Structure 1
Amino acid sequence: MSGVKDRIAAGERGETRIADRVVAKIAAQAAREAIDDPPEHGAPPRATVTVHRDTARVRVSLELGYPCDIGRQCGGVRRHVAERVRALAGMEVPEVAVQVERLHPTGTSAAAQGRIQ
């Protein structure tokens, strides 16, 4: 049976590397979770990341229902994405850029259906 002296130090065993695309999938799923009322026919959020050591910079593109508080929605997405990437990938997230690609009208009002004169 090997003793404590036979163990390899943590720094000498290697490291775990999480692929950028895996972090991007975590970020996209977190963005999906953070949207209050996703548009019925909207595309799911997409994310791209740049990872350097234990730091991930994230860019999320998404679609929202309209009308909504766009600023509040984007702030919620930023917070939730940073929290989930930190928790699941163990990375610091100093930046989450949110880009709203499209707004989808909700409801059945004349304005929502494009019948404004």
Structure 2
Amino acid sequence: MTVAAIEPGERGATRIADRVVAKIAARAAREALRGGVPEDGAAPSATVTVHRGGGRSSARIRISLELDHPCDIGGQCGAVRRQVTRRVEELAGMHVPEVSVQVERLHSARARAAAQGRTR
């Protein structure tokens, strides 16, 4: 008995849950910040809206994070956008047309030192 080859588009589909894409994005944001996440701050979080269409799915992503201050806020946000886009495209196979980065809080190294009894 011979089995006819099944075209790739007719074999089925893999669907990645939105919460999985959000976890990938949050992890990628942490990777981009390497050491830039404040000790007393929350880890980056992500919300994702996935659009599934005829071909490749796309994900619009919002990252919320906290940063140490002073820092290059624009540079940090740009690094997060690039890393999140790269990792979601790489791991989930989704097109990422938009990554919105929201800085929730800035943590002052000076205020943290003063709270611990160390002032400069």
Partner of 1:2: 2
Partner of 1:34: 32
Shift of 1:113: 3.4
Cα offsets for 1:52-103 (capped at 9, x unmatched): 1210000000000011010000000000000000000001101000000011
Shift of 1:14: 1.4
What is the correspondence of 1:22-101 to structure 2 with a 5 Å cutoff? Answer: 22-36=20-34, 37-53=36-52, 54-101=57-104
Distance 2:24 2:79 in 1: 16
Distance 1:66 1:2 in 2: 67
TM-score normalised by structure 2 residue count: 0.84
Distance 1:94 1:104 in 2: 30
* 2:2 partner amino acid: S
RMSD: 1.8
Aligned residues: 110
Task: Name the stretch that deviates more: 31-40 or 76-85.
Answer: 31-40
Shift of 1:107: 4.3
| Contiguous gaps of at least 5 residues in structure 2 | 116-120
| Contiguous gaps of at least 5 residues in structure 1 | none
Identical aligned residues as a percent: 66
Task: Name the stretch that deviates more: 84-93 or 28-37.
Answer: 28-37
Secondary structure at 2:114 match in 1? coil
Partner of 1:113: 114
Distance 2:114 2:63 in 1: 28
Shift of 1:26: 0.1
Secondary structure at 1:57 match in 2? strand
